[in-house]
Amino acid sequence: MVAARIGRRGARIDRLNEDRTGAGRVNASGENHLTAQHEEQASADQLNNRIFFRLFQLGNTLQRQSVKELGVTTVQWAVIGALSQKHRPDGMAFGDLAEYLVVSRQNLDGVIKRLERGGIVERTTDPNDRRARLVRLTPAGHRLWPDLRDKIFEFYKQAAAGFSFDERASLVHFLGKLQAQLLTVEIGYKPPSLAEQEDGPAAG
Question: Looking at residue 198, what is its pLDDT?
Answer: 54
Contact of 75 with 202, CB cutoff 8 Å: yes
Average pLDDT over residues 163-169: 97
Average pLDDT over residues 148-174: 97
- 3 state SS of 93: strand
Q: Which domains are delineated in the chain?
A: 72-177 (1.10.10.10)
> 76-79 — which CB contacts under 8 Å span 24+ positions?
76/111, 76/114, 76/115, 76/204, 77/148, 77/152, 79/108, 79/111, 79/112, 79/115, 79/121, 79/135, 79/204
- Check whether 110 has a pLDDT greater than 50: yes
- 3 state SS of 170: helix
Provide the 8-state DSSP code for 128.
Answer: T
- Check whether 125 has a pLDDT greater than 90: no
Contact of 80 with 135, CB cutoff 8 Å: no
Question: Looking at residue 190, what is its pLDDT?
Answer: 78
How many angstroms separate the CA atoms of 93 and 128, rounded? 11
- Check whether 123 has a pLDDT greater than 90: yes
Contact of 127 with 90, CB cutoff 8 Å: yes
- Check whether 30 has a pLDDT greater than 50: yes
Weakest mean pLDDT among 59-63, 80-84, 128-132, 197-201: 197-201
